Structure 1
Amino acid sequence: MTIVRLGFVAMSMELKNASPSKTMTFSQFQKIRDRDAAIRKLERIAQSNLHNTLRLLRHCAAYDIHFYRLTSRLIPLANHEELLDWNYMKPLREELKEIGDFAKKHKIRIDFHPDHFVLINSNKKQILKNSIQTLKLHYLLLRGMGIDSTHRCVMHVGGNYKETELSLERFIDNWMIVPHSIQKMIMLENDDTSFTVEDTLYLCEKLGIPLVFDYHHHLAHHYDLDWIGHWDRVVNTWKDSPLPIKIHISSPKSEQEFRHHSDFIDCEMFFDFLQEIKGSVTEIYCMIEAKRKDEALFQLMKDIKNRKDIDIIDGSSFYLK
């Protein structure tokens, strides 16, 4: 049997006033004449975001949810070029440690997914530099939480620039510039427009990076392309990871807007995937990318509870028979 564990992204539809992504624009920062006072305000916003992150993890623990994606917007303006002298980690040590301790105590797997502007294969040096700086922020946050950063940050291959092979080779060239500690943190995901499972596998196998398979992206990109034939290779990219394999699940908003994520998860579409991979792994973590966040997780568990091909374990996990 295979254990399936579900997770959700960043926000809760049930918790009130619990945003972990409150922010301040640089324009707002500049309007505060006292720079030290402006920085203190940034720090208070970051502390509020971390406080709400801990509330979200308590919410996860209360409902037996073992998988949660942290927002990448915990610290506003952390890498802004005008604030590079700001030691943003120092005032947040206590809050970060509390988050890490709680996640470890309750066995909640946490990770990140940086925004689309993080491009390792960029052909512009400044974008590559900024991307590495953003990834360093994620590394520092995980280290501050006391979490092993290995394979905790999933990202797309990057821009296609209308030349797939050259874009893949540029990723390899630029990868050599990325510090080893950050390399260890990375997982790659196939996307819905530019890089197929096979493209992404090329990089993952060559560079020793786990591949996070996105079934919806695959269907949107190449509906008829055989992903099942690649599944064993996908699983093999995780062979040296301390973590079980993870995937992304989402459902099309409609036939006309197939690439867009729906509010909830199509249970039958999800089980079309699960039936194909059943028994190939002992445990699989599935991150739900749906507009209704944790509500989509709860609804999916309701949808499957009477199925005869599963046994419920807890509020977010089940055995696939």
Structure 2
Amino acid sequence: MDNNLSIRLGYVAMSMLLSNASPSKNVTVKQFEQIADREAGIRKLERVAIANLENCLRILKHNQAHDITFFRLSSRIVPLANHPLTEGWKYEGTLAPMLKQLGKFINKEDMRVDFHPDHFVILNNSSKEILQQSLRTLLMHYKLLKGMGLSHVHRCVLHVGGKKEGREEGLEQFINNFAKIPSTIQEMIILENDDVNYPIEDVLYLGEKLHIPVVFDLHHYDVLHESTDLLSLWKRVVNTWKDSSLPMKIHISSPKESMNDRRHHDFIDSKRFYDFMKKVVGTVEHLDVMIEAKQKDVALLKLTEELTNLHGMQVRSPSSINLYL
């Protein structure tokens, strides 16, 4: 057994096992506008944001009980944070006590948390307005991380963006825009291959040129790729993480129906994941694996159980899995 790979599993944003624990409760623009007094509206937003943070803490305590130490925080914790209606709102001050409490727990339990802002965060668009709105959203994530006392470096996963003006043009626009954004925002970013516009080959082009770690998404690769030499691509992905203080991370999900179905299944195909792990064992010592499945923590625990029955797998908990070959 010369090759060994340690694996830690994580999941996304909310628990399916906890009731009444949504970290993404919202206040719509219409609801906010119906509140006659703007300050009263702001207070409502703050109450909802604090409730979202309290539910984040509930979820993390639930995770700790199951030895799940990798988790993606919701990007919807603070409703309307970047909307013009709330311009000037210093939400980070009001949320400071709860953010500190959350960060203290994360540090005490040695957890890794990160974010994946939604598809409206686009850094390769030629529109100054879209770029500025994207930067405002990323600044919100920076403020949340700072409030928790966590390093902001390599905490936000982004896709490259759209290719309305052409695929190569989109890549070059990303490079041009990246040079214009503050260094703290640059440092937050890690890039993921998608399943529509930019395959892993394109993301590696940007990652290697701009020194950005690349998050390999296995499902997206299965749906959209150019090269079938997976191992060569993988070694390049590994190399983009060499200067990061965080362990290398990947995303896994499974198609809902056919192999090329972009929709996510409720659970993870353990055989597809296992076959991939066997291919890359020996190329990296440790992987943090983010599960993007509809059943969230239920899917994670099911995968953990299924891995125990596979050859060479030693499973103690979701945060302590080893493959020996």
TM-score (norm 2): 0.97
* Match runs of 1:49-68 below 5 Å: 49-68=52-71
1:248 paired to 2:251: yes
Instruction: Name the counterpart of 1:165.
Output: 168
Please provide the CA RMSD for this pair.
Answer: 1.2
Q: CA deviation at 1:163?
A: 1.2
Q: How does 1:290-301 map to 2 (within 5 A)?
A: 290-301=293-304
Q: Which AA in structure 1 matches 2:45?
A: L
Aligned residue number for residue 230 of structure 2: 227
Contact persistence 1:301–1:316 (CA under 8 A): no
Are the counterparts in 2 of residues 197 and 227 from structure 1 also a CA contact under 8 Å? no
How many residue pairs align between the two structures?
A: 321
Out of 215, 218, 233, which is 1:215 matched to? 218
Deviation of the 1:36 alpha carbon: 1.3
Residue 308 of structure 1 and its aligned partner are, at CA, apart by: 2.6
Q: Partners of 1:304 and 1:269 in 2: how far apart?
A: 11
* Equivalent position amino acid for 1:204 in 2: G
Quick one: distance in 1 between partners of 2:259 and 2:322? Answer: 34
Separation in 2 of the partners of 1:139 and 1:209?
Answer: 17
| CA–CA distance in structure 2, aligned partners of residues 277 and 9 of structure 1 | 24
Amino acid at match of 1:292: Q
Kindly indicate whether the alpha-carbon contact (under 8 Å) linking 2:304 and 2:317 is maintained by their aligned counterparts in 1: no
Give structure 1 stretches of 5+ with no counterpart.
Answer: none
Tell me the alpha carbon deviations over residues 80-138 of structure 1, each in whole angstroms, 9 at most, x when there is no partner: 11211111111100100111111111111000000001000012110001001100100
1:263 aligns with 2:266: yes
Seen in structure 2, the aligned counterparts of structure 1 residues 237 and 223 have a Cα distance that, compared at 3 Å, is closer
Look up the SS of the partner of 2:51 in the other structure.
helix
Task: Output the CA distance in 1 between the equivalents of 2:316 and 2:66.
Answer: 12
Structure 2 residue identity aligned to 1:89:
E
Map residues 15-164 of structure 1 onto 2, 5 A cutoff.
15-161=18-164, 163-164=166-167
* Alignment match of 2:10 (pick from 1, 4, 7): 7
Asked if residue 278 in structure 1 is aligned to residue 281 in structure 2, the reply is: yes
Q: What is the DSSP-based 3-state SS (H/G/I as helix, E as strand, rest coil) of the residue aligned with 2:116?
A: coil
- Whole-Å separation in 1 of the counterparts to 2:165 and 2:202: 14
Whether 2:229 is the aligned partner of 1:195: answer: no
Residue 162 of structure 1: CA displacement? Answer: 5.3
Question: Which one of 186, 203, 208 corresponds to residue 205 of structure 1?
Answer: 208
Residue identity opposite 2:193 in structure 1: N
The SS at the match of 1:285 is: strand
Where do 5+ consecutive residues of structure 2 fail to align? none
Task: Give the percent of matched residue pairs that are identical in Structure 1 and Structure 2.
Answer: 52
TM-score (structure 1 length as normaliser): 0.98
What corresponds to 1:175 in structure 2?
178
Structure 1 residues 282 and 256, CA, compared in 2 at 3 Å: closer, same or farther?
closer
